[in-house]
A and B are shown apart, each in its own frame.
Chain A
Amino acid sequence: MDQNQTMKQKQTLAEIEGYFRKVARATGLYWGLAEEAGKAARWLAAFNLPGPELMLSHLQKIEGKDYEQYKPVIGSDASSELWQANGQTLCPIITGAAIADRAKLLLDGHTISLGSAAYPILLAATIGQATRCHNIIITTSWANVKLSCYGNGIRIEGDHNDLWLDEIEAVSCQQSFDTLPEQLPSTLAYEIDSDVWQLVDELAFLTYAPATEASRAGAGAGLSDND
């Protein structure tokens, strides 16, 4: 094998969701938002898009940072105001969840406009989780690309290179109509660099309590099993 070749391994979608939920928690998001991160990473991996890798990068960047810096500041009219973060770029998980919570605005025909945001593809995936529930198509647009999420599929239009941007000045999000998904999700395991997964594993591990005498003794029967 080529010495420079990166080792790859396969992780199931269930593992990706479960691990990223923990990684998000370990890096500072509350459990409810960590659940959104796990779903978004899984969703992108199901389309063989590098959601897990980008999610890891994002979560590492916001690790331990103040939530207030990354959440959208929304005034009294969420449908017409520009959503912006107080200090930094918008966190795609926090913002995506906030948009999904307000999906009725999209259903009513409003476009939600965002200012500077990190990893727009993660934002699109987080919002996209709402599509199945509401049986709608949600299109997130940034730079020269549009990602539409369907109940069970996606469609990408424009410059695919822009999908991987780690930051963008403007994003918009709206309901779409009358198109069909161009790609359906796979249920098979996702191939990922072993060193990336090693990092995921290490971060997820931070949610586990170090062993104590009580934890060693506290689960079994305390009786012999050789019977």
Chain B
Amino acid sequence: MNCADQNPMPESVNFRRPPEVVMRLARMGSFHQTRLSFMRTLLRRLKKEQWTFDRPVWEIDSEGFGRAVYSVIGPVRTYSLVAFSHYLPDDMRSDRVIATAWDATFTLFDGVPTTDDLDRLQQNVPKQEAGRISDTEISLSRANRSVRLWNHVIDKLSIGEQPDCEQLESVGYLVRTTAVYGSGKFGAADRLTICDRPELRGPFQAELLSVWLTRAFAIDLVEDIAHSVGGDKAVVIDPDLRKRIGVGNSTGLGMAPFLFNHPTLINNWMMAREEAIARVRVVNEASATEVAEFVISFERAKFNFSNWNTAHEIQLNKLALLGDDLEKMSVYISSENLNHDHPWDRFYRWAEQELSLEGQEQLVSLMLEPYGELVDDLTDCMDADEHLSFFIDGSVTVAETLSIINSQCQWALSIDFDQPESQARFWYTSAEKLEPRVGERFDEPGEEYESPYAIGFYIFQLNQALLSWADTCSEKKPIADFLLAQPEHRYTLRRVQNLKNHPYAEVQDNVIASDMLPINLLRCKLSFFGATKFDPRSDRWVRICMYQDSPYPHELLAPKISGSAS
């Protein structure tokens, strides 16, 4: 979809924050979920289209091991989470990708699996990367139990009591996913197989559907085990407590290269988000209902803040700032007029002056909440046909290319790459587990295996090479001639040309600098998913919570009517 041509509010362009403001790691690492986040898009669609829900298979023994199937049935297609629950010794419970066994493993099946399908999948899904799935499966994932909460919840439910609210809040989930693979990985259906389906066209819709159903599986499993243990004394979990249970996720560097490898897609995510913010800032008059809805969302954000636990110094500092920011926002809300005279634009401009990046980004997320009708259509613009931005227009001259770099890549040209700290890091993939890593260039071996993610440095080098070429050859020559002579710049030139129509495509920071924090990349991506409670465990490893406070399948969707299409 060409969203630019369909913009119902062209004046918003004057309110849009430019890429040099948005595409900075510190700001990206302060993003919060919004109503455009992919989890919320998914649940809105399922509800609007009146999908139904079924659990056709529950073959779980008294200890909680076995297999189950959860199906959601839409107007055209059915998708089924196939879940396997396993015994896992405590000493094998690891969130790292180097793990080889998990408490539970999953695949999202395209349709309703037969018993033969389940038997085939049972031979492969528990092995994860070492197994093989097929074109009829869309995702592959696994999860580990939260030891802190799992046994506590079962113990309490089995004796007829509810779990301790404080303990439940402090963790926030029963299981933590440690990888959710899709898009053709390990044999799964290629992205092109599903990208024309309206329900899966948006980013990560299949993967997040599997996570949403995983949340339901975890609740069913603890209640089932509690019943096996406690018999008639056992109770089910209170719905209010149940709602507070999300799905955890533990993510390391494996997620970061996605932001480098998909510049057009990232541009579209960012453009949609920034356009949504701009549209709200254009609003001249806010109704009492809209203001009230904003205030409710603000109170929810404060509640979320009060339950946001972390032990990591980086996030502790950011949370301290966010706490102050929320106080300042409270004062602003109670003292300023939120109804008239471009109230949201005024609020945002105030925030730019008064709040930290955490607070600014919290505000823009909250500002979108009352304006679903104004911004939700932008979720249709968050996918990308990346093939179309693969091509290089070789007829563009060297001079024109230099001009593009000069106008759109000043951030790269302004970095002093002669300083060791500007080249201190290098990204690579470890042969041991095929996972991305960040190494110290001057202290560790392996630089020759560097992955091509240092885009700022490459743009700097390309600029130097083009200036030299312009001197010795001609700046009027087509860039195709330059590329044939110096093919090492082809990768970068492609990205530079892509900026013409995708100005938010590149992270405008030096990702090989000594002070670069990979968790900023992770948080940016996870916020687009809809994650909350970012809890860094190091500068390159973060835990989050997904779907906390969201409805469960049986709450959002009607049960499948017997005999209906499957």
A contact set with B: CB distance below 8 Å = 10-15, 29-33, 35, 39, 67, 71-72, 74, 94, 97-98, 100-104, 129-130, 132-134, 187-189, 205, 207-212, 214-216, 218-223, 225-227
Contact = CB atoms under 8 A, between A and B. Distances in A.
A227 B151 CA distance: 11
Given A32-B493, A101-B394, 11 more contacts: A12-B135, A32-B490, A39-B390, A72-B484, A97-B490, A102-B394, A133-B390, A134-B391, A189-B187, A189-B190, A212-B446
Q: Helix, strand, loop or mixed for chain B's interface?
A: mixed
A208 B449 contact: yes
Contacts of A187: 189-190, 192-193
A15 B184 contact: yes
Contacts of B392: 97, 100-101
Contacts of B436: 219
Given A187-B189, A189-B187, A210 B490 contact: no
B48 interface: no
Contacts of B146: 227
28 contacts: A10-B187, A11-B187, A14-B184, A14-B185, A30-B491, A31-B452, A31-B491, A35-B494, A98-B480, A98-B483, A101-B480, A102-B395, A103-B391, A104-B394, A133-B388, A187-B192, A189-B190, A207-B449, A208-B430, A209-B430, A209-B431, A209-B449, A216-B430, A221-B538, A225-B93, A225-B94, A226-B90, A227-B147
Interface stretch (B33-41, B404-412, B437-445, B548-556): B437-445
B494 A32 contact: yes
Nearest to B192: A187
Contacts of A35: 390, 491, 494
B191 A211 contact: no
Contacts of B437: 209, 214-215, 218-219
Interface of B: 90-91, 93-97, 134-135, 144, 146-148, 183-185, 187-193, 250, 252-253, 387-388, 390-395, 428-432, 434-440, 443-446, 449, 452, 478-481, 483-484, 487-494, 537-538, 540-541
Contacts, number: 182
B492 A32 contact: yes
Contacts of A31: 452, 490-491
A127 to B, nearest CB: 11
B86 to A, nearest CB: 16
A225 B95 contact: yes
A132 B385 CA distance: 11
Given A12-B190, A133-B388, A208 B489 contact: no
Contacts of B391: 100, 103, 129-130, 133-134
A191 to B, nearest CB: 12
A15 B439 contact: no
B431 A220 contact: no
Given A39-B390, A102-B480, A226-B91, A220 B96 contact: yes
A189 B135 contact: yes
B190 A30 contact: no
Given A187-B189, A221-B538, A209 B446 contact: yes
A219 B135 contact: no
Given A15-B185, A222-B538, A226-B93, A208 B490 contact: no
Which among A14, A134, A214, A220 has the highest number of chain B CB atoms within 10 Å?
Answer: A220
